[in-house]
Chain A
Amino acid sequence: MFIDKTFHRRWHNARTSVFAAALAAATALGAAAPAHADPDTITAVMHSGLRVLDPIITTAHITRNHGYMIYDVLIAEDENFEPQPQMADWEVSDDNLVYTFTLRDGLKFHDGAPVTAEDAVASLKRWGERDSGGQLIFDVTESLEATDEKTITWKLKEPFPPFLETVAKQSAVPPFIMPKRVAETPSSEPIKEYIGSGPFVFVEEEYQPGVSVTYEKFADYVPREEEASWMAGGKVVNVERVKWVTMPDAQTAINALVAGEIDYIEQPQFDLLPILQGSPDVTVEVRDTLGYQTMGRMNFKHPPFDNVKIRQAALMAMSQEDVLGTLVGNPEYYSVCGAIFGCGTPLGDETGAETLTSGGDIEGAKALLEEAGYDGTPVVLMQPTDVTTLTAQPVVTAQALREAGFKVDMQPMDWQTLVTRRASMSPPAEGGWNLFFTNWMVPEISSPIVNPMLNGRGDEAWFGWPDDPKLEELRAEFIAADSVEAQKEVAKRLQAYTLENVIYVPLGQYVPPQARRNTITGMLPSPVPVFWNVDKTE
């Protein structure tokens, strides 16, 4: 074979220079067109991709957050858990049976039509079919109607003390107000039109499910006069556009924020915070001081957890510190908390959670397990593999349970499979389960009315299906309680009862910090990340 040296050299040089030129060109051009060019647009990475646009049909937080962008609510909760007027003021009759809401002036949907009482009534009815709190109210509703253009009259058959709190609640399904024609969609079908009266307009052409969603400032929105506080007060929009993008890779988002390609990350990975903290352009802070409660739920229908003693033994084996330490790592962002209604809430109380908050009691669990006559039935533990805030709990718990003498069959699956499978009432061997974990925003579990785990109606109850009349009694007592003190007293008994019977296992609270570029200012501290009040400076 012959070697033409000149030719080779020429080829080699050509190749090198083409590559170098391409790289250089790309670099130069790229630098000329930075990603964060637009000072009027906030680009935010949210905790998950938006795929479902109907905030009534699903309880997904991302959809709820989307709801707060484009819809408005009649009344809203402020940072003191107090209901405040938002779209409407209200009056209550002396017998606590008639609530009258009056819409304020200047409310308009994004298509220009004024918001009427008819719209609100239709929206509330649809909400009442889906939301568990709403269902409780509609159980005692006499009538709900629009008495004129601006007035909504809601008559009850019997008093429902937490009425306003329920209508004002921010999780999981707030009663967003939609145009009547949209709200008349059956509650089992998703809506097909996305028009609200909220401070932002949904830009449908730019929506890519699961990837990105764009909102524009609604020019005709009239904010309230009051200071913004949680979901209440004046929603003043200072930017032209807000764009939510999804980044499936946690690291990519972190790097993008440091590089200034995005402005905000709702929930950066705990372990990656040091990278962000090392950047002078980025602020890491806790927005929502209540944060999340992580918890475990057992299946009451099948052995071994149909036996209360075995449930108690399992609870005894668990340690909040171990779970939170692995899940979060940095103690700054978590706290052990034995309260089923969450610590820092009006009803928070830690009765009965001593072993949980003090590192677990493996020996006690062993003894109890023996006493209960545990026969070695394996505990089928479902482990989601694709949700980073849920991967640690099953792994840590499985180890604790094994140490206590349980036989654990940890079955990994993606979250969607878990969601499907937890709805199965079959025995664990036939596609059922014994134990799983999930996380709640604290306001979602902060009262017996909203807390889904405290439903004791057997097959109608939340997954796990405890059939527990006593629990239902306590809940009824709470609803009937007419003073804060009375409510607190019932709540305390509920707390004790829940832990004693291991209705579910609170595993502590954590506060995911948010991260923002320093150019983003005025973010409200709130459980729901909101983009009103926010400013972007150069």
Chain B
Amino acid sequence: MRFKNRRFDDADRVLNIRDLSVSLSGGHQRPILDKVNVTIHQGETVCLVGESGSGKSVTSLAVMGLLTKDALTVTGGVIDLEGQNLLELDHKAMRQMRARRISMIFQEPMTALNPVMQVGAQIEEVLDSHTKLPPREKKKRVVDIMNQVHLPDVERIYNSYPHQLSGGQRQRIMIAMALILEPKLLIADEPTTALDVTTQNQVLALITELQEKHGTAVLFITHDMGVVAEIADTVYVMKDGQIIEHAPVETLLRHPTEEYTRRLLQAVPSLIPRPARERNGAVEVLDVEGLRKVYGIRRLFSRAKPTLAAQDVSFSIIRGRTLGIVGESGSGKSTVARCIMRLIDPTEGEIRVASTDIARLSRRELRPHRRHIQIVFQDPFRSLNPRWTIGQSLIEGQLNYGTSRSEAIKRSGELLELVGLPADALKRYPHQFSGGQRQRIAIARAIAMRPDVLVADEAVSALDVSVQAQVLQLLDELQEKLGIAILFITHDLRVAAQICDEVVVMQHGRIVEHDTAANVLMHPQHDYTRALIEAAPGRHWDFANFKELEPA
């Protein structure tokens, strides 16, 4: 692993945040930011790391002067940009700082671009707002910066709308927009989180390239330690609105001083697959054969083309083992999961659950077979009915299959304990639980049906790494205890490595590689698989053990 080991002690300080505090407007609760200190030098990349709610985004918005006025107020401190305290500027002066001296790019390039405006015009708007260049000159500048961010076919993209571009292209537009006036400081708020791993890699490279070219200071906000390892010069760790530790990147990763930082690093799943479980017996609990799903059947006078979401998908899972489906967005992995659950109807193919083909059953015929296969969804906040107590949610399925109410309640209590929650949780409502707890409840609901197969559709993707590790741990234990087969859908190779016995790699609706986890991750055969693995940030670093990854 090669870290950036540049030193910036001699470089000019671009941004110096001193004792910045932010509170909820009018509130007297704990401050959102509590005496935050951050320094960034010219050409330096500072990563601000923390779990959700730690205050990283608030810090960046405070620097931009974009805090929601009604909600958040700066209560103290200084934000010093090259000797000028931004907090003392009036609206107009602050507006003139933006894009010229400090720029920002955001997490979700789709929503961050105005959907009804051509992207060229959106870049040009920066020049409109801050310069008085003649139109031709403006266009030239825009085309130039678009070339610098390596956009293909600039003339066409100039006149495109955001929805006509790919996610990576949109983020490049954002970067072009941010850098066209060569600001001193670029704030990047989780700029690659919404992107696929291969695209993420390219965008990170682009940011680094442009930073070096223009000497821009970068404040990079992320939750992903892999990204940190790739890009940071200096790392600041945030927790509950405070900076708890900061150090050059290598120092931090090798010798974290704070306990919190250590835990954070230890929670990062390793890319080295865990040992596979043994195949006890060979009972195939789920067997998918030639699955195919086509969306959008042609209608009269309609130009909508049918999309092939999945085809020729075949695999099977044995009792007690975990099969991972890995792929980038649009690869068809979720379509497969939803077809197997019969939440959508497959176009072709067989889905045998407990040796019954359920692919063609009607809703009514299907109901007796439902209990054999259960699902846990990605979003813990939407997967429980907010109006129902946990108890009601847990007994619903059991009652459907003839369990008596008292029996069901008793079992639900036991299940809660099994997933590590107190039994009195039965009487409470979902909003009283954290995301991780809700995901445990969702798992309890699924296993209450005593299923043969549990489908986990990105079940840990929305969770912070520490929570993610716990939930993965729980799934592991349950599988051990109950012998359930798990179909684990994920985009994250690290997670797949930690939970899967076998891995299926999907691309464009097809399976490109299917082998044991160890083989897929350590000896990938297909180019696409290799590309995926190479793009994984920080893949040479063993975060949990604070050292380089030893080649297997």
Contacts and interface: CB of A to CB of B under 8 A. Distances in A.
Direct A–B touching, Cβ under 8 Å? yes
B69 interface: yes
B65 to A, nearest CB: 9
4 contacts: A1-B69, A2-B91, A2-B95, A3-B91
Contacts of A3: 91
A1 B66 CA distance: 8
Nearest to A5: B91
Contacts of B69: 1
Interface in A1-42: 1-3
Interface in A237-284: none
A1 B71 CA distance: 11
A3 B95 CA distance: 12
B533 to A, nearest CB: 46
Contacts of A1: 69
A398 B95 CA distance: 77
Contacts of B95: 2
A1 B69 CA distance: 6
A3 B90 CA distance: 11
Interface of B: 69, 91, 95
B89 to A, nearest CB: 12
Interface string A504-534: 0000000000000000000000000000000
Nearest to B65: A2
A77 B202 CA distance: 105
A1 B25 CA distance: 14
A3 B91 CA distance: 8
Nearest to B68: A1
A1 B68 CA distance: 7
Contacts of A2: 91, 95
Nearest to B95: A2
A1 B91 CA distance: 9
Contacts of B91: 2-3
A8 to B, nearest CB: 13
Give the top 4 A-B pairs by smallest Cβ distance, nearest first: A2-B91, A1-B69, A2-B95, A3-B91
A1 B72 CA distance: 12
A3 B69 CA distance: 12
Nearest to B69: A1
Interface string A481-519: 000000000000000000000000000000000000000
Nearest to A2: B91
A434 to B, nearest CB: 58
B266 to A, nearest CB: 43
A3 B94 CA distance: 13
A315 B378 CA distance: 84
A242 B69 CA distance: 69
B316 to A, nearest CB: 57
B426 to A, nearest CB: 45
A280 to B, nearest CB: 61
B466 to A, nearest CB: 36
A1 B95 CA distance: 12
Interface in A68-85: none
A3 to B, nearest CB: 8
B73 to A, nearest CB: 13
B280 to A, nearest CB: 63
Nearest to B90: A2
A396 to B, nearest CB: 59
B128 to A, nearest CB: 16
A1 B65 CA distance: 10
Nearest to B94: A2
A2 B91 CA distance: 7
A227 B503 CA distance: 115
A187 B69 CA distance: 81
B5 to A, nearest CB: 42
Interface string A332-347: 0000000000000000
B129 to A, nearest CB: 13
A5 to B, nearest CB: 10
A446 to B, nearest CB: 72
B86 to A, nearest CB: 15
A485 to B, nearest CB: 89
A6 to B, nearest CB: 11
B87 to A, nearest CB: 15
A177 to B, nearest CB: 63
A96 B209 CA distance: 124
